[in-house]
Structure 1
Amino acid sequence: MITGQDLRAARESRGVGLGKLADMIGRDKGHLSRVERNVDSRDVTPALVRDYEQALGLTVAATALSGGEPSPAEKGHGRLSKQAEYLDEAPDADDAVGAACQAQLEERGRRGPLVGRDVGTDPEDIVRRRILLQHALTALAAGAVTPALDVIRSGLVSSLTGKDAADVDVDEWEEVAFEYGGAYFTDRPAVLVSNLAADLVDLQGTLDAARGAQYRGLSRVSGLLAGVMAMSLVNLGQFQPARRWWRAARHAADASTDPVVRTWIRGHDATHALYDRRPLTIALTRADEALVIGGSAAYPGVTEALSARAQAYALLGRADEARDAVNHLADLYGQLPASATQDLGTAFGYPQHRLWHTTSYVGTHLGDTDTARQAQEHALTLYPASSRRSRAQVQLHAARCMVIDGYLDEGASHAQTVIDAVPVAHRTAMVLDMGRKVLDQVPVVERERSALAELREMLALPAGPVAP
């Protein structure tokens, strides 16, 4: 039986990019990406296989027999596995990062300030950064997540100043970003963070040697990957490093000058600010920035910003403004291109279930349970099964609505059932936050009910593990 992975191996054996193949056979790039990631094996139809074979001039079955490589999102471009070869001889992970950082600072002191030097193309700077990144990967593989990610993030920002000429494959990196946008919903957040870190190291090396349109294209990819990294760290409850990655993502997106990416980063930064313990004013500020950048255009990031604005107003109890934001969101959703509304497989679109998710959130937090329940029904009908975390959040909205309507034990029991059905590695900070909101809705005098004890115990656990 031919799988999506076989199709991918056949395409890559000919060195054909996903976007180019989609144009060659007249099919949607997003659909082909989902097929190649085996999201639904039923999509690997005989007609599709024939299209691949005719476009690529090969027999897919024969290519499959030779064995295919895993996708970049699954293997992190093959970097982390190679670290095992020298991990046994490496010093303690934290010490390695600390020593490398100190060496970098001492070298900077010896060579003087950076002003007046081309940091991105200076050979000594590039070599030093790569040594530091190797230490960072060693630390990451050994479990020292926060210091390692900080080194990688700093290197990414530093590399954004490098503009030497080079022949780099921007399309290939676009495909890597596209795959991570899909893996965000399906992969364990801890695994995704490790794989992203490895690919970001590769990307920094490419950024060091890019300029002009290539530089802007790679900056666009950098922004998207840094954004997915920030979102994944929020899922893991790693809020401080996530905030630093949001800054890196904004920096990269701005360097790309692409309003689609600039608004997407700020829209999702605003939404995640609702969960990572930042003041709600930050969420509103990021949303406003996205709306200013987007102007009158209908971008997925602008709809995400309106979603964040509506949710923030609901949390602040500003009911009229929250409802106005939802109405504005619904109007703008109708103007989005099909490429955004039909993108069910990645985090880069804005399909209809996101609109209903926001409506459910706002209705629930304003106590408008009738509106919320209608939105929940629509959202759960439209959400794909692979979006287990998002589905769980909407189901927890329903649990909170039960509590609001006076069904305390039933609401608590439903919340417990929902969270229990989510694998531990996918019980993200965002899922657990919604569970806590169910408990918070219970009147203080009723919180000693036995039906709440198990839910309280479940919510006391941390978000999915940091290490893969």
Structure 2
Amino acid sequence: MAEAGFGRQLRQCRQAVGLSLRQLAGRVGYDHSYLSQVERGQRTGSADLARLCDRELGTGSQLTETYAETHRKPPPTVKPSLDPLAAAWQDLTSGYGGADEWVDPLSVPPGRMLPELVSELRQLQARGPEAVPTFAARATQRCALIAETLTALGEPLGARRWWSAGRAIADDSGEAWIRSQVRAAEVTSGLAERRPLPQLLELADEALALAQQGSAQHSVVLRTLAVRAQVLATLGAAAEAHRALQEVLSCTDALPTASTCEIAPYQVHGLEGRVCASLGYGTAGCLLLARALELCPDGRPGERARLQVTQAECLALEGEVATALALTMRALVELPDEWHTYYLYDDAERVLSAAREREPGQPAVRDLAVLLERRAYQRGRSVGSGSWSSAIRE
């Protein structure tokens, strides 16, 4: 294997100067376990790692040249018959890169966002990893966003290989925070997809362990703690989930002001509110989600709708069933169809479940159930952009 050839030479050069794996890892800024895997041929390494090792081991450009030679790939060929998403997948499997221009995924409807993401990923591959120092983080992010967008459009099975690709890129990067982020994002999506909870908890535990290795920003740790608390609550592990919520709140208190560039204040309150809803803490969740809605920009209608529906779930948990159902139906009907997603309907299904449990005879329960059957994102059937009261009478 090409990886074994590069790794073997790296080990020989390291041993020749009498450095341990930990010593070399400290000098080049990589985890020692990752270097060990590279030396054994279990990881591909990277051009950046080869360059840094050449510098620290005094080997000129030997390792850089070996890496370039053993990892040289022919230019990708894309068959004209491939659709853009399939073409992007083919490019992804042959190399990763980075791009400078980026579109805010929360400001564009998922149906229009997917082509943007495909275009971004094509640019990453075209430029190549040597051109962009942060290519691993960017490629991982694009994979995760494509997976999330496919799920949002009602294609969770099609999203699975993109999650797998995102984890593979992140793992090859050797960066714990990148590996943590993609796992936490997959757990969040997996909850909506109703994946087996023990598997999601295992993935959440991995994400948290990686986030706590020391290099992750507070925002990464916060998201990971929040999604783990949701999994525990969904599993019915109330005591553990409550402790996890306390960790979420402590992490929120520790967020430095500068972190708002990584996670917006409304997202912080939204995470807290969603965890409270999962635990059945309706009053606390309502307060947090109300604050999140105050701070959420108008230019993110999909986010606002999800916050409203989660707030409705909290209202239902507190016995305000009629209000919760009305708020959910209004959010669904007044939201333009292009913003309807699988995730939004999963949120609304939780409202319906809470309402049925508390007031099964409430007439609006049936109205919401009928509304949820339409699933505009899946079949192109109209739900939004109209009067919510007239829609439920159809």
Q: TM-score, normalised to structure 1's length?
A: 0.60
Please state how far the C-alpha of 1:445 moved relative to its aligned partner.
9.2
Shift of the 240–154 alpha-carbon distance from structure 1 to 2, 3 Å rule, reads: farther
Mapped partners of 2:279, 2:145: distance in 1: 30
Segments of structure 1 that go 5 or more residues without pairing to the other structure are: 1-116, 141-148, 161-167, 344-348
| 1:272 and 2:223 are equivalent in the alignment | no
**Equivalences, count:** 311
The equivalent residue for 2:125 is 204
Please state how far the C-alpha of 1:370 moved relative to its aligned partner.
1.8
| 1:158 and 2:104 are equivalent in the alignment | no
Please state how far the C-alpha of 1:306 moved relative to its aligned partner.
0.8
Equivalent of 2:325, from 412, 433, 438? Answer: 412
Q: Answer yes or no: is the 8 Å Cα contact 1:217–1:256 preserved in 2.
A: no
The equivalent residue for 1:73 is none
Shift of the 363–202 alpha-carbon distance from structure 1 to 2, 3 Å rule, reads: closer
Shift of the 402–217 alpha-carbon distance from structure 1 to 2, 3 Å rule, reads: closer
1:220-239 Cα offsets, whole Å, 9 max, x none, are 22111112111211211210
SS at match of 1:135: coil
1:234-263 Cα offsets, whole Å, 9 max, x none, are 211210121211111112222333333222
SS at match of 1:222: helix
Please state how far the C-alpha of 1:387 moved relative to its aligned partner.
2.8
Mapped partners of 2:210, 2:320: distance in 1: 44
Q: Answer yes or no: is the 8 Å Cα contact 1:303–1:350 preserved in 2.
A: no
The equivalent residue for 1:329 is 248
Q: TM-score, normalised to structure 2's length?
A: 0.71
The equivalent residue for 1:310 is 229
For 2:238, give the aligned amino acid: A
Mapped partners of 2:315, 2:302: distance in 1: 20
Equivalent of 1:195, from 110, 113, 116? Answer: 116
Shift of the 463–317 alpha-carbon distance from structure 1 to 2, 3 Å rule, reads: farther
The equivalent residue for 1:112 is none
Q: Equivalent pairs: percent with the same residue?
A: 24
The equivalent residue for 1:400 is 313
Please state how far the C-alpha of 1:407 moved relative to its aligned partner.
3.3
The equivalent residue for 1:131 is 78
Q: What root-mean-square deviation, in Å, do the aligned CA atoms of Structure 1 and Structure 2 show?
A: 2.7
Q: Answer yes or no: is the 8 Å Cα contact 1:298–1:335 preserved in 2.
A: no
1:142-181, aligned counterparts within 5 Å? 149-160=85-96, 173=99, 175-176=100-101, 179-180=102-103
The equivalent residue for 2:25 is none
For 1:131, give the aligned amino acid: V
Q: Answer yes or no: is the 8 Å Cα contact 1:222–1:252 preserved in 2.
A: yes
**Larger relative contact order (Cα-Cα within 8 Å, sequence gap ≥ 6):** 1
Mapped partners of 1:466, 1:218: distance in 2: 36
Please state how far the C-alpha of 1:187 moved relative to its aligned partner.
0.4
Please state how far the C-alpha of 1:433 moved relative to its aligned partner.
0.7
For 2:127, give the aligned amino acid: T
Mapped partners of 1:121, 1:252: distance in 2: 18
Segments of structure 2 that go 5 or more residues without pairing to the other structure are: 1-67, 381-394
1:31-430, aligned counterparts within 5 Å? 121-123=72-74, 126=75, 129-132=76-79, 134-136=80-82, 139-140=83-84, 149-160=85-96, 173=99, 175-176=100-101, 179-180=102-103, 182=104, 184-207=105-128, 210-211=129-130, 214=131, 217-294=134-211, 295-299=213-217, 300-340=219-259, 342-343=260-261, 349-430=262-343
Q: Answer yes or no: is the 8 Å Cα contact 1:395–1:418 preserved in 2.
A: yes
Q: Answer yes or no: is the 8 Å Cα contact 2:106–2:300 preserved in 1.
A: yes
